[in-house]
C-alpha cells in the first residue's frame, strides 16, 4: 500500500529529473583529467557538497588557492601538502581557459587584433599582442612567440608552446613566462636562453621541431651593420633564432631581431611574415620594406616597432598590391 502511494511521486520525480538532465550543461566533474590531484579532489571536496559544485568554476591558480583555503576554513580536512596538489591540479584542469567539457575543443581567444586564416586543417588565429609578442591559436593549441609583460594575459589562453628568439629582456621575460606557463608548456629557444631556462629545448639555426603536427624551424636572425659598440653587433649570427612555422598549408615567418639578411631575402612561399622595424637594434621601416619586396610574403606585419612608424613601412609597400600590409600599434 505504501509502495503504491509513493509510486506516482517516484515516477514524477524521475520524469522531472530526466527533463532537467537533458537541459543541463555537460557536468565538468565527468571530464576531469586523471592525476593525483583528481583523487584528492574526489576524496576531499565531496563531504559537504557535490563534486560538481566543487569543480564548476573556472579559476586561475590564485583563485583556486583562495577557494581551497576558504573550504579549509569551513572545516575541510586537507593537509597543506594536499592543498598544494589540489590547487595545482584545479588551476590546470579547471583553469580560466579550460573547456566546460574536455571533449569540446577549446574556444579560441579573439579580439579586434585577431586575424583568421584558413590552413586546410582548421583555422589559424593570429593575434599580435605587443612588441615582439605574437599569439597563434591552431587546432586547440596556443603558441606564443616571445611573451613579455606590457600586455594583459588575464583573458588569454595558457601556452602549449612558447618559442623564444633571443635572451634579450624584450624577448625573454622569466617572470611573465612563469606566470602564464603550465607544467605542460614546452619552450623552444636558442642555446643562449638555456642558461636562464634549463627546461627549454634548444634549437640552433636550421633545426626543426615537430610540435604535434606543427612544424617549427629555427632560422637565422642577425645584424649586418648595426653595432652595440665598435666590432660588436647587437645580434651576432647564430645566437638568436627567427622561426618559420607550418600550420597546415600556411607558412608563417617570425623574423626576430634582424636586418635584411640574405637568408631572409631568399625565403620563398611565405604566407604571413612578421618583420621588425625599430632602430637601433634591427632596421628602419624603409629597409624592412625593401627586404619584404625581395621575399614577397602574401601578408606582412611590421612588428617590434620601438619608435618607428609602421605607417611609413606601409607607404613603402603601396606599390606592391600583392603584398598585404597589416599595421597595428606594436611598440
Minimum distance, C-beta of residue 117 to ligand HEC, in the bound complex (Å): 38
Distance, CA of 286 to CA of 318 (rounded, Å): 12
The yes or no reply on residue 50 touching ligand HEC (CB under 6 A) is: no
Task: For residue 279, give the DSSP letter.
Answer: T
Q: In this complex, which beta carbon is closest to ligand HEC, that of residue 44 or of residue 216?
A: 44
Minimum distance, C-beta of residue 103 to ligand HEC, in the bound complex (Å): 22
The yes or no reply on residue 87 touching ligand HEC (CB under 6 A) is: no
Q: In this complex, which beta carbon is closest to ligand HEC, that of residue 56 or of residue 202?
A: 56
Minimum distance, C-beta of residue 59 to ligand HEC, in the bound complex (Å): 8
Among 3, 17, 74, 155, which residue sits at the site for ligand HEC (rule: CB under 6 A)? 74
Among 28, 37, 44, 141, which residue sits at the site for ligand HEC (rule: CB under 6 A)? 44
Phi, psi of 157 (to 5 degrees): -70, 155
Q: In this complex, which beta carbon is closest to ligand HEC, that of residue 41 or of residue 172?
A: 41
Distance, CA of 254 to CA of 244 (rounded, Å): 6
The yes or no reply on residue 324 touching ligand HEC (CB under 6 A) is: no
The yes or no reply on residue 148 touching ligand HEC (CB under 6 A) is: no
The yes or no reply on residue 19 touching ligand HEC (CB under 6 A) is: no
Distance of CA 122 to the CA centre of its chain: 17
The yes or no reply on residue 86 touching ligand HEC (CB under 6 A) is: yes
Phi, psi of 290 (to 5 degrees): -60, -40
Minimum distance, C-beta of residue 153 to ligand HEC, in the bound complex (Å): 23
Contact 228, 255 (CB under 8 A): no
The yes or no reply on residue 155 touching ligand HEC (CB under 6 A) is: no
Contact 146, 130 (CB under 8 A): no
The yes or no reply on residue 236 touching ligand HEC (CB under 6 A) is: no
Distance, CA of 322 to CA of 308 (rounded, Å): 24
The sign of the CA dihedral 281, 204, 146, 166 is negative
User: 172: Cβ–Cβ under 8 A, 6 or more apart, which residues?
Assistant: 146, 164, 166, 189, 193, 196, 197
Q: Which of 233, 301, 289 is nearest to 265 (CA)?
A: 289
Q: In this complex, which beta carbon is closest to ligand HEC, that of residue 43 or of residue 116?
A: 43
Q: Which residues in this chain contact ligand HEC in the complex, by CB under 6 A?
A: 41, 44-45, 47-49, 53-54, 57, 67-68, 71, 74-76, 78, 86
Amino acid at each position: 500500500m505504501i509502495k503504491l502511494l509513493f509510486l506516482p511521486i517516484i515516477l514524477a520525480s524521475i520524469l522531472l529529473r530526466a527533463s532537467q538532465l537533458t537541459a543541463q550543461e555537460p557536468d565538468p566533474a565527468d571530464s576531469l583529467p586523471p592525476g593525483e590531484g583528481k583523487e584528492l579532489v574526489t576524496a576531499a571536496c565531496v563531504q559537504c557538497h557535490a563534486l560538481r559544485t566543487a569543480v564548476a568554476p573556472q579559476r586561475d591558480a590564485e583563485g583556486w588557492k583562495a577557494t581551497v583555503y576558504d573550504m579549509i576554513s569551513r572545516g575541510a580536512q586537507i593537509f597543506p601538502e594536499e592543498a598544494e596538489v589540489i590547487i595545482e591540479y584545479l588551476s590546470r584542469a579547471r583553469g580560466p581557459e579550460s573547456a566546460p567539457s574536455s571533449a569540446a575543443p577549446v574556444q579560441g581567444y579573439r579580439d579586434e587584433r585577431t586575424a583568421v586564416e584558413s590552413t586546410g586543417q582548421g583555422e589559424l588565429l593570429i593575434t599580435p599582442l605587443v612588441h615582439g609578442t605574437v599569439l597563434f591559436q591552431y587546432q586547440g593549441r596556443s603558441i606564443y612567440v616571445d611573451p613579455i609583460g606590457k600586455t594583459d594575459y588575464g583573458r588569454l589562453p595558457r601556452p602549449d608552446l612558447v618559442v623564444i628568439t633571443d635572451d634579450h629582456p624584450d624577448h625573454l621575460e622569466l617572470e611573465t613566462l612563469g606566470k602564464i606557463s603550465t607544467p605542460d608548456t614546452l619552450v623552444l629557444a636558442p642555446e643562449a636562453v638555456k642558461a636562464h631556462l634549463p627546461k627549454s629545448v634548444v634549437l640552433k639555426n636550421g633545426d626543426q621541431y615537430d610540435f604535434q603536427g606543427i612544424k617549427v624551424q629555427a632560422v637565422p636572425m642577425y645584424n649586418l651593420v648595426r653595432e652595440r659598440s665598435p666590432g660588436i653587433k647587437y645580434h651576432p649570427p647564430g645566437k638568436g633564432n627567427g622561426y618559420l612555422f607550418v600550420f597546415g598549408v600556411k607558412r608563417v615567418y617570425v623574423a626576430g631581431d634582424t636586418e635584411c639578411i640574405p637568408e631572409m631575402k631568399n625565403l620563398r612561399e611565405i604566407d604571413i611574415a612578421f618583420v621588425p622595424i625599430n632602430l637601433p637594434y634591427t632596421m628602419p621601416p624603409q629597409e624592412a620594406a625593401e627586404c619584404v619586396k625581395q621575399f614577397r610574403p602574401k601578408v606582412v606585419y611590421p612588428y617590434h616597432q620601438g619608435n618607428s612608424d609602421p605607417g611609413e613601412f606601409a607607404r613603402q609597400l603601396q606599390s606592391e598590391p600583392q603584398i598585404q600590409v597589416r599595421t597595428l600599434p606594436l611598440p
